Amino acid sequence: MDTDDPINPGHYTKGISAYSYIASWNMGYEAGNIIKYVTRFPYKNPSNPTQDLEKAKWYLEELISRVEREGADDV
């Protein structure tokens, strides 16, 4: 797969796709984004790997807030 491919860059094509994993677990938006960013952080931007980790952290904090407000069954 071409690493310059805008649809399937190299960091999207290692192992099982993040999309497939997220869909198989029926994850909501926040949880799915946490998985996506944590999975690809070492590959997407090797010169700044913490960028995707910070994004995952933001979504995790949002998910925690939502679970505290709505309960785990409603997210």
Residue pair 35/27 in contact by the 8 Å Cβ criterion: yes
Question: Is residue 36 pLDDT above 80, yes or no?
Answer: yes
Residue pair 1/37 in contact by the 8 Å Cβ criterion: no
Task: Look at residue 27 and tell me if it is in a domain.
Answer: yes
Q: Taking residues 57-67, what's their average pLDDT?
A: 97
Amino acid found at 65: S
Task: Look at residue 5 and tell me if it is in a domain.
Answer: no
* Predicted confidence (pLDDT) per residue in 21-34, tens digit: 999 999 999 999 99
Average pLDDT of the chain to the nearest whole number: 87
- How many Å apart are CA 27 and CA 75, to the nearest integer? 9
Q: What is the pTM of this model?
A: 0.79
Task: Identify the domain containing residue 50 by its residue range.
Answer: 10-74
Task: Look at residue 2 and tell me if it is in a domain.
Answer: no
When divided into structural domains, the chain yields a total of 1
**DSSP tag of 3:** T
16 vs 7: which has the higher pLDDT: 16
**DSSP tag of 57:** H
30 vs 43: which has the higher pLDDT: 30
- How many Å apart are CA 43 and CA 11, to the nearest integer? 5
Task: Look at residue 60 and tell me if it is in a domain.
Answer: yes
Q: Taking residues 31-49, what's their average pLDDT?
A: 92
